[in-house]
């Protein structure tokens, strides 16, 4: 799938005039996991390419461009020389994707982050919803589709971090319910069955499908309109029949989503327009 634009960092402040002020608290740095894949370097043409290598039980070498750059997953039996040769064979695609990632990140950094105040506008299903902040005895949330307002009731003294986590949790819950409905609908149309479904927070992929028929969809798709969500759903379900991006694969996508080419381009455009939410 075309990669989503990565979120950028940056502090988010609460406007002093806000009727609901949430005190911010400095957060300690998060140490990287001890089992993080080590970085390797490889001379590719005129470039020194850095990548992380993970070993797995998969039967072939896989490449992924995420927020940390190039990630390579390879079977344990494959030697480093074979992996490096595979990278050189794939270098045009890898360098192109890394360039696209840098451009998207630069564009995102130019956008100011959302201010988490009462009345903030949040992207949801292709439009904006209004965030309403209320003080109550316990944390709870509710959404009014008629007014397109998301009410977040927080305990007194709640932090901005808590608010952001609550909003993210609500968006992820909505995403899981909706995506399951769309998966079942398009799976029936295509005549396929998937083994399982889960949400992902991948920085550079909208979805994935494994040989075990496990489908993953990025929860951030909930920001986009239903036709764009359906395109990603149709894309991943089509991999159950064609585990590639050949002409036969796109013909399969076209059987249940004929406008896939337009959706693919629009998804890329809309991803670049998203505000910085959870940097």
What is the pLDDT confidence band of residue 109, given thresholds at 50, 70 and 90?
Answer: low
Q: What pLDDT is recorded for position 251?
A: 95
Q: pLDDT confidence of 2, banded at 50, 70, 90?
A: low
User: Looking at 113-122, 124-133, 197-206, which range is the least confident one?
Assistant: 197-206
Q: Report whether pLDDT(27) > 90.
A: no
Of the pLDDT bands very low, low, confident and very high (cuts 50, 70, 90), residue 164 is: very high
Q: What is the pLDDT of residue 8?
A: 38
Please tell me the predicted confidence (pLDDT) of residue 277. 87
Query: Of 7-16, 49-58, 136-145, where does mean pLDDT reach its minimum?
Result: 7-16
Which residue, chain included where needed, has tokens 């949330």? 141
Rounded mean pLDDT, 51-70: 80
E strands, the chain, where?
39-44, 47-56, 62-66, 69-75, 121-124, 127-135, 140-144, 149-154, 196-200, 207-209, 214-218
Strands 149-154 and 127-135: parallel
Q: Under CATH, domain 160-273 is a member of which superfamily?
A: Metalloproteases ("zincins"), catalytic domain (3.30.2010.10)
Asked whether residue 254 carries a pLDDT value surpassing 50, the answer given is yes
Max CA distance (Å), the chain: 62
**Tokens 């309403």 map to which residue?**
132
pLDDT at 36 over 60: no
The pLDDT of residue 87 is above 70: yes
The DSSP H or E segment spanning 185 is: helix 160-190
Weakest-pLDDT range from 32-36, 110-114, 248-252: 32-36
Round to whole Å and give the CA distance between 187 and 60: 27
Position 38 confidence tier, pLDDT thresholds 50, 70, 90: low
Whether the Cβ atoms of residue 152 and residue 131 lie closer than 8 Å to each other? yes
At 208-243, the pLDDT tens digits run 999 999 999 999 999 999 999 999 999 999 999 999
Name the average pLDDT for the chain: 83
The whole-number average pLDDT for the span 25-30 is: 41
Higher per-residue confidence, 229 vs 57: 229
What is the pLDDT at residue 25? 44
Beta strand pairing status for 62-66 and 140-144? Answer: unpaired
Report the C-alpha gap between 279 and 267 in whole angstroms.
20
pLDDT over threshold 80, residue 18: no
Boundaries of every domain in the chain: 39-109, 160-273
């Amino acid at each position: 799938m075309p990669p989503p634009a990565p979120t950028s960092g940056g502090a988010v402040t609460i406007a002093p005039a806000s009727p609901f002020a949430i005190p911010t608290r400095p957060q300690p740095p998060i140490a990287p996991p001890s089992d993080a894949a080590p970085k390797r370097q490889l001379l590719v043409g005129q470039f020194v390419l850095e990548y992380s290598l993970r070993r797995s039980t998969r039967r072939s070498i896989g490449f992924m461009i995420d927020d940390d750059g190039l990630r390579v997953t390879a079977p344990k039996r494959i030697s480093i020389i074979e992996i490096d040769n595979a990278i050189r064979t794939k270098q045009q695609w890898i360098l192109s994707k890394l360039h696209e990632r840098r451009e998207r990140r630069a564009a995102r950094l130019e956008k100011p982050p959302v201010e988490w105040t009462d009345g903030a506008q949040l992207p949801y299903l292709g439009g904006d919803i209004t965030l309403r902040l209320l003080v109550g005895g316990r944390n709870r949330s509710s959404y009014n589709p008629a007014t397109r307002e998301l009410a977040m009731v927080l305990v007194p003294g709640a932090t901005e971090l808590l608010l952001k986590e609550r909003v993210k949790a609500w968006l992820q819950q909505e995403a899981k319910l909706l995506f399951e409905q769309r998966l079942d609908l398009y799976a029936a149309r295509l005549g396929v069955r998937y083994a399982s479904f889960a949400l992902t927070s991948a920085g550079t992929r909208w979805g994935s499908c494994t040989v075990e028929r496990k489908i993953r969809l990025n929860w951030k798709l909930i920001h986009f309109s239903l036709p764009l969500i359906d395109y990603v759903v149709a894309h991943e379900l089509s991999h159950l029949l064609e585990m590639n991006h050949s002409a036969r694969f796109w013909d399969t996508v076209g059987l249940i989503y004929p406008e896939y080419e337009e959706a693919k381009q629009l998804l890329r455009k809309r991803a670049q327009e998203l505000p910085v939410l959870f940097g």
